[in-house]
Amino acid sequence: MINGKTITELAEARKSIRTYSSKSIPSELMKELENKIAGSSNPFSIPVSFFILSKDQYDLRSPVLKGETYYIAGKVKKEPYAEEAYGYAMEELVLFLQANDLGTVWLGGTFGREAFEKAIGLEADAFMPCVTPFGYPAPKMSLRETLMRKGVKADTRLPADQLFFENDFSSPLSPEHGTEAAFEAVRLAPSAVNKQPWRIVRQGSSYHFYLVRSLKETEPDMQKTDMGIALCHFVLALEETGIKTEVIIKDPGISCPENTEYRFTVCTQTA
């Protein structure tokens, strides 16, 4: 839980915010965020560096935003599962901000990337998958934001029986399985163009995560970053109920539908 709110509650409350108010963020909260960034980690043990950036100081811009003052941007060395590590670590920050009533929105392409990369000192062997503004949401969304949300059907999600399965992809997971909150937290997670590329197959106490490729693979890969976001919701939601988790990479050899690939497994144990 964060500030007395469960991960599922935060996932339900979180919306992509593109219009911000001029209300200043308390210095104490900014310090808490800095401490959260300093302690950032992920299950892949891949170092990710995050930075708080002032929009005006670094001349940062995004055509889809209005009123933003600060951004979080990060960098990670190019290696297998770097995008998942980045997605996991950054979503932890997003959930922390949501728990403190601050809005965010994952941006992968609609911003001046060169200025951000210069601001964080991005090296040639690293990349910056995404950034997010953060601040208090404005009382009213801009017309552009309203249209964007409608365009990507931002308030809709696939039903659980299309995302979660038992033993293989032919059997949807039973609605009553004891870890409903963790799966709902995954179902509500943000993703690029709201594609929800994750699928989970449960086998006993192991949960195998698969990526359904629906966007072109790029470097950095947005849908692999999405997988890290989903993993963050799943792991944090399980751990707040006392379930221990370990992330491993060991393909169970389950037959996959077209355009579907294995990514990682969460092994669980009741504390």
Handedness of CA 239, 241, 242, 248 (dihedral sign): negative
| DSSP per-residue string spanning the chain | -BTTB-HHHHHHH--B--BB-SPPPPHHHHHHHHHHHHT---TT---EEEEEEEHHHHT---TT-BS--EEEEEEEESSTTHHHHHHHHHHHHHHHHHHTT-EE--BSSSS-HHHHHHHHT--TTEE---EEEEEPBPSS--HHHHHHHHHTTTT----GGGTEEESSTTSBPPS-SS-HHHHHHHHT---GGG---EEEEEETTEEEEEEE--S---SS-HHHHHHHHHHHHHHHHHHTTTEEEEEE---------TTEEEEEEEEEEE-
CB contact set of 35 (below 8 Å; sequence gap of 6+): none
Structure tokens at 57: 């100081």
195-228 core/surface letters (b: 16 or more CB in 10 A; e: else)? bbbbbbbbeeeebbbbbbeeeeeeebbbbbbbbb
pLDDT digits (tens, 9 = 90+) for 10-23: 999 999 999 999 99
User: Quick one: pLDDT at residue 178?
Assistant: 77
What tens-digit pLDDT sequence spans the chain (271 residues)?
899 999 999 999 999 999 999 999 999 999 999 999 999 999 999 999 999 999 999 999 999 999 999 999 999 999 999 999 999 999 999 999 999 999 999 999 899 999 999 999 999 999 999 999 999 999 977 666 676 666 666 568 899 999 999 999 999 999 777 789 999 999 999 999 999 999 999 999 999 999 999 999 999 999 999 999 999 999 999 999 999 999 999 999 999 999 999 999 999 997 6
pLDDT digits (tens, 9 = 90+) for 192-215: 999 999 999 999 999 999 999 999
With contact defined as beta carbons under 8 Å apart, do 62 and 112 qualify? yes
Extents of the domains making up the chain = 7-146, 160-270
Structure tokens at 19: 């219009």
Tell me if the domain spanning 160-270 has CATH number 3.40.109.30: yes
For residues 229 and 35, what is the distance between their CA atoms, to the nearest angstrom?
Answer: 21
Say how many Å lie between the first and final Cα of the chain, rounded.
Answer: 17
For residues 221 and 224, what is the distance between their CA atoms, to the nearest angstrom?
Answer: 5
**Homologous superfamily assigned to 7-146:** NADH Oxidase (3.40.109.10)
For the chain, the C-alpha Rg in angstroms (whole number) is 18
User: Quick one: pLDDT at residue 1?
Assistant: 85
**Burial label, 160 (beta-carbon count in 10 A; 0-12, 13-18, 19+):** middle
User: Quick one: pLDDT at residue 270?
Assistant: 78
Q: How many CB atoms lie within 10 A of CB 261?
A: 11
